[in-house]
A and B are shown apart, each in its own frame.
Chain A
Amino acid sequence: MARDTGIGARVKRVEDQRFITGKGRYTADLNRPGQAHAAFVRSPHAHAKVGSIDKASAMEVPGVLAVFTGEDLAADEVGALPCGWAITSKDGSPMVAPGHPCLAQGKVRYVGDPVAVVIGETLSAARGGAEALEVEYEELPAVVDLDAAQSSDAPLVHDEAARNTAFEWELGDKAATEEAFAKARHVTRIDLVNNRLVPNAMEPRAAVGEYDSGTDGFTLYTTSQNPHVARLVMSAFLNIAPEHKLRVIAPDVGGGFGSKIYVYPEETVCVWASSKVDRPVKWTCDRAEAFLSDAHGRDHLTHAELALDEQGKILGLRIKTKANVGGYLNLFASSVPTYLYATLLSGQYDIPAIYAEVDAVYTNTTPVDAYRGAGRPEATFVVERLIEVAARETGMDPAEFRRRNFVTSFPHQTPVIMMYDAGDYAASLDKALELIDYSGFAQRKSQAAREGKLRGIGFSTYIEACGIAPSQAVGSLGAGVGLWESAEVRVNPVGTVEVLTGSHSHGQGHETTFAQLVADRLGIPMTNVAIVHGDTDKVQFGMGTYGSRSGAVGMSAISVALDRVVAKAKKVAAHLLEASEGDIEFKDGQFTVSGTDRSIDWTSVALNAYTAHGFPSADLEPGLKEGAFYDPTNFTFPAGCHICELEIDADTGHTRIVNWVAVDDFGEIINPMIVEGQVHGGIAQGVGQALLEHTVYDESGQLVSGSFMDYTMPRADDLPSFSLDFTVTRCPSNPLGIKGCGEAGAIAAPAAVINAITDAVGHEDVAMPATAEAVWQAIRKSPAREAAE
């Protein structure tokens, strides 16, 4: 029965019905009776002292109900937003991470930093009030440029952070790496910019906070990837309400990509303010606000070096990275350029010695945190650019150079914490080479040249660490939480099943894939399975969805809970069949006494579990419901090979991707259709970073590219159709063999694109985003052209 919907089947998505008919329910679609509206007053300055705020100026606007400032939050002891991962500097000192007040306390540190909130009867009243609110600022010099921020004369973003440095961290063996470089035959050196990105999920953030004075309880409807973490932070750190008095609901959420992991000032203020005005308070972010206030991604400056021996074997790798964290160290921001970055610097390669130094640096810009891939795209960009350049410098074929240095036996301990458990990197490379017809490339390149086009090919053989993460491991590295996942499987008396999961779906299709797993295991139709998520009153606890963890960790939790349900159901079946429990076999929804034709079906067992007639009460409880908290034993290591082939119009610098091949190893795949969709979307974001997306601040700290008119999002005609394939090595670290697929495209793509463009123009000096203008400039600099001119 379950065959065509089982594991591995391309099942059409359950959730699509509501989305294609306009019946999705996103936070902004909700209106609560009696609701008021919030509008935020934001700092127009990158750095300023906040003087007096004249509340009366806003209160005079008709329809304004209330104005709140940082003082009001302080009076209620509402805490500041914390950074949840403690990093220790190489000198042993703790990171310097002052909290981010939800509304400014005396100072603002980036354009858009919230200063006050105005609550109005209507949205236009609230906005009118926000417009009218008079706030005195004393402007301070701002530090915007990452490279200059650590100099001794730079203005300080936080007085307590000397040289604007949150931490100076290191990983790896410095002495061993120096030794490797000392005996190198060749050293490749590059400097890289990993450009700052604005996540831009298509659904802007939104919140409705509601206080019930009858129960003294709060409800927050919000655009969150992890409602339980939001509740935890609001309870434990922000003092909004204890967890049992705070319900957080994340209904349909329109994309996240990391930006909806965090607890933000606006959502917090809405729920707090609802008790102050005793009305539900709604806020919907507009896109201009989103550009200023959603946590940004990436923004690294890196110097990287690779040491090679005479055979082209890698001896060592070292990097020095400055990571821009913006005005505050956001919730996960400290982990992104450290444990999610430097631990991946071994790539797919056997590198004996690695040493990484990372400085986290404050600037007067929007905070930077995890964005699709979070640290791993930055690591892959460093490694894959280094590898490509090293191959070119030593005259080796880039595919061959990679193959020569691949890790080939598993488990493999890298010098930077990670223990790769399974993979076959040559297999994905070979398949990709075949799919792109690598041997025919030279001919295609000369054909293109005849048409006045520069053709290039670029590789990215990436690795990532997903399924975050073993709680013990992340705890020892400074994480403030454990990264397990929970599941509860409730069987109803009629045999239908509800699965409560701590994962959250905001595009990933969990209502489909999770139901596939359940249907497959229990031998029931998928239509008899409901996946429940995103409500802290229904699901006891969960860590949410990010870091490609919902398959590997979230589904593993469901798998364990299903094992327990089946074990209990077997007991019930044994009782009903008057057999011993050990003799019961369960297959395709049927319980059978082994070696006999005596059997009973799933539905009867479920019903009898609830009627419980004649149960021997000492050893058989009524009911059929089991839960699990699954804690992974290791990270998972998806890996693969992406190859980008592109053509550049030499006259305009316009780049057109003509072919994209991706061969990924995600371990076992539940639904290939959904996995392919994840890869497509990831590649698009990676290509966006490489070619289009440019976050520009002027020297005073104003975000110049603060709208879709100025910040180029990838559009349909910027992208090709992609050729995808898979190789499979089962992940040994979880019961389902899943590695995770959500970030691979975004991780692999930037290096593949830039490797292809540098191949086409014939030199390495091309930075992201490689806009038409930048590429046109790069063509002017190409050695061949310079020689000709």
Chain B
Amino acid sequence: MTSVSMTVNGKPASGEVEPRTLLVDFLREHLRLTGTHVGCDTSQCGACVVHVDGTAVKSCTTLALQCEGADVLTIEGLAQGDQLHPMQEAFREHHALQCGFCTPGMIMSAIDIINRHGGVPDETTIRHELEGNLCRCTGYHNIVKAVIAGGEAMAPGRAAAE
């Protein structure tokens, strides 16, 4: 066992883990932050996406120890009190979720897309960039709408410079 410390959703978090413990298991089992999901074992589905130091990562493919000292943001840390993040709001507004299982990873990826592009890219780009997130329920139609709307709310008036 090795001890690991990081900041999770703005609060210090530490624990004793095995070297092979995955970030997703640290979040789910040690910190009981079960909003981050596991949908596969081949790093394909994106249900486990969180942000580490501001960038989206698949927490099923990241070791907890790799995140020593890092700043980790999960779905539970997005809202400011009762104030939802604009992307969360957009997912609800546009019915971008059904069973909700893919949703946390989808929202974390969506925010990352907008951040990386510095605004809202076009629909083709969004669809392409969502390749690492599988949803079996929605057919993606409303997810794409939500990413556009959420992106606009995050950075009003800014289309991404392509």
Residues of chain A having any CB pair with chain B under 8 Å: 12-13, 15-26, 28-29, 31, 200-204, 252-255, 257, 284, 286-288, 506-509, 673-674, 676-678, 680-685, 707-709, 713-717, 719, 721-722, 745
Contacts and interface: CB of A to CB of B under 8 A. Distances in A.
Closest 4 CB pairs of A and B: A22-B35, A19-B100, A254-B101, A684-B139
Contacts of A678: 98
B100 A252 contact: yes
Contacts of A255: 98-99, 101, 136-137
Given A21-B35, A709-B42, A717-B127, A745 B134 contact: no
Interface in B84-112: 84, 88, 91-93, 95, 97-104, 107
A685 B35 CA distance: 25
A509 B98 contact: yes
Given A21-B75, A507-B100, A681-B139, A674 B95 contact: yes
Given A22-B34, A254-B101, A681-B139, A202 B134 contact: yes
B139 A24 contact: no
Contact of A20 (B42, B88, B139): B88
Contacts of A284: 38
Nearest to A252: B100
Contacts of A202: 37, 39, 45, 47, 99, 101-102, 134-137
B99 A21 contact: no
Contacts of A24: 35, 100-101
23 contacts: A12-B92, A18-B100, A19-B103, A22-B35, A24-B100, A25-B34, A201-B99, A201-B101, A202-B47, A202-B135, A255-B136, A287-B41, A507-B137, A677-B95, A681-B98, A681-B137, A681-B138, A684-B138, A685-B139, A707-B42, A708-B40, A708-B134, A716-B144
Given A22-B74, A24-B100, 7 more contacts: A20-B97, A26-B37, A202-B99, A507-B98, A681-B139, A684-B138, A714-B139
Contacts of A707: 40-42, 44
Nearest to B92: A16
B99 A288 contact: no
Interface string B35-68: 1111111101101000000000000000000000
Most buried by A among B35, B39, B76, B134: B39
A716 B132 CA distance: 9
A13 B84 contact: no
Choose among A17, A20, A257 the residue with the greatest number of B CB atoms under 10 Å from its CB. Answer: A20
Contacts of B34: 22, 25-26, 28-29
A254 B99 contact: yes
A203 B131 contact: no
Nearest to A505: B99
Contact of A673 (B91, B95, B136): B95
A534 to B, nearest CB: 13
A725 B127 CA distance: 23
Nearest to B78: A21
A506 B92 contact: no
Contacts of A203: 37, 39, 99, 101
A715 B131 contact: yes
Contacts of A26: 34, 37, 101
Contact of B99 (A20, A506, A709): A506
Interface of B: 28-29, 33-42, 44-45, 47, 74-76, 78-79, 84, 88, 91-93, 95, 97-104, 107, 123-124, 126-128, 130-131, 133-144
A697 to B, nearest CB: 19
Given A19-B100, A202-B102, A509-B98, A716 B131 contact: yes
A507 B99 contact: yes
A372 B58 CA distance: 29
Contacts of B101: 24, 26, 201-203, 254-255
Contacts of B97: 16, 19-20
B100 to A, nearest CB: 3
B45 to A, nearest CB: 6
A715 B136 contact: no
Given A22-B35, A685-B136, A715 B99 contact: no
A708 B139 contact: no
B154 to A, nearest CB: 15
Contact of B36 (A12, A22, A682, A713): A22
A287 B39 contact: yes
Contact of B140 (A257, A286, A682, A719): A719
A714 B78 CA distance: 28
A713 B79 contact: no
Nearest to B39: A202
B135 A21 contact: no
A716 B42 contact: no
B34 to A, nearest CB: 4
Contacts of B28: 29
Contacts of A716: 126-128, 130-131, 133, 140, 143-144
